[in-house]
Chain A
């Protein structure tokens, strides 16, 4: 697949994902709006870089196009790391702790994004369209042909600092989900 073709395919998949989340149940759509409305992010997967931006309307309009060179990525990973999460080689937080999935944003945005991802994972078994979208990505996006999938190293190794953090802090919810969330910052 040429870089241009890869960019087009990734854009189409992300647009479909945004559409599925916006037109899913009310709760999912609301989570999605609170996470993306009025924000922009550079998503980089296997060196294919896209600028994802959403307006502040109801419902939000998502626009995805090429990212300008030199703009740092907000989310950077590879197709194989995403496959590792889906196949159970690593938990999501383990891929972040090991820097194989890089995300950069304010704490409120990160917590909200994490909650949206978990919500989507929870809904996926009941959403054939989400499953089909993943299957298309998995089949169509390049990667290693025969990966090992050990299951013993799933959890993240955060170290003593994180382990000693009170559970109440670790389980904090993003203020974006408060009825009147904090003023939004462009990320």
Chain B
């Protein structure tokens, strides 16, 4: 019973809104966002949903991004990223709720209710999701750019709901994989920071399921970095953490520069002449005296979310990548070979 209570207390701490819930009370550099990634195992739908609050009096805004990758065709994406003024009453800390004409994100009795319905678009997602694994509160006030950031996550949630995308209606059912995290802090977008992050979920032929979450904080150029975290979740429990020198991440890149799809559209037009090489794959290796991991990912979808700072003329470009994953590992003396899907981010 104590373990369950501790897990729920940890869940509450991970999810608690850190930004002051009244927009006029939040300084302009405050940010607080909830991020959901889910997919249908196999070559199925992939969905990213992100809801964020940014402080700053009359510049306070509520923003969201919704991207749906259609199965069967590489990089067939529907998506949108929009913002609206964050006015008093739109966000509450307890119980947690963030609402606008197009967004409803509510945490009630530790069940997420997410409804994103962009007006005038045939694109929507509706979720009910509950933690199905141990939450992790990784950092609370880590130095980040000119400020600090916190990060907590739930590596696996049970989820149900529905997705609508350009004439297609898809039920989100119990066989979908769902990951959720919460970032919060004070810093300026476009500062000297970056990150490399991914979540992969793979199943072995005997049915064992492994989830891998990796995070590496870097400077903007990715030349300097902190220590990577790698969390291995077997089934629903944290089984292993690789840290620091035990890990290497090796990205592979496209041979030539391309113009990636970008959101929001205003930023896409603004950067219409900015082609760049994009990640095509990632190899992650980890080893210590007991266990080993090799995760190979081939990306088949890439999009950039460009996040402008609301105060300074500066931007952070978040590359959103997804593709297929092959995981081979030795864990507690047992060898596992699993195939699945991965979703990753690489900032610029």
Contact = CB atoms under 8 A, between A and B. Distances in A.
A15 to B, nearest CB: 22
Given A89-B265, A124-B266, A131-B83, A149 B78 contact: yes
Contacts of A85: 265-266, 269
In this complex, the member of A118, A126, A149 whose beta carbon has the largest number of chain B beta carbons within 10 angstroms is A149
B166 A148 contact: yes
Which range contains the number of A residues in contact with the other chain?
Answer: 35 or more
Contacts of A147: 120-122
A111 to B, nearest CB: 14
B313 interface: yes
B272 A152 contact: no
Interface stretch (A49-57, A69-77, A138-146): A138-146
Interface string B247-287: 00000000000010111111111101100000000000000
B166 A150 contact: yes
B310 A154 contact: no
A121 interface: yes
Given A125-B309, A128-B85, A150-B76, A92 B272 contact: yes
Given A85-B265, A126-B310, A150 B273 contact: no
B135 interface: no
Nearest to A95: B269
A131 B120 contact: no
A146 B168 CA distance: 13
Interface string A104-138: 00000000000000100111111010011001001
B193 to A, nearest CB: 19
Nearest to B58: A128
A91 B121 contact: no
5 smallest beta-carbon distances between A and B, as pairs:
A88-B265, A125-B308, A148-B166, A146-B122, A151-B261
Interface of A: 83-93, 118, 121-126, 128, 131-132, 135, 138-139, 143-152, 154-155, 170-171
28 contacts: A85-B266, A88-B79, A88-B80, A88-B81, A88-B261, A90-B265, A91-B272, A93-B269, A121-B269, A122-B270, A125-B310, A126-B59, A126-B310, A131-B85, A132-B85, A135-B84, A145-B120, A148-B121, A149-B118, A151-B67, A151-B261, A151-B303, A152-B76, A152-B261, A154-B259, A154-B262, A155-B259, A155-B272
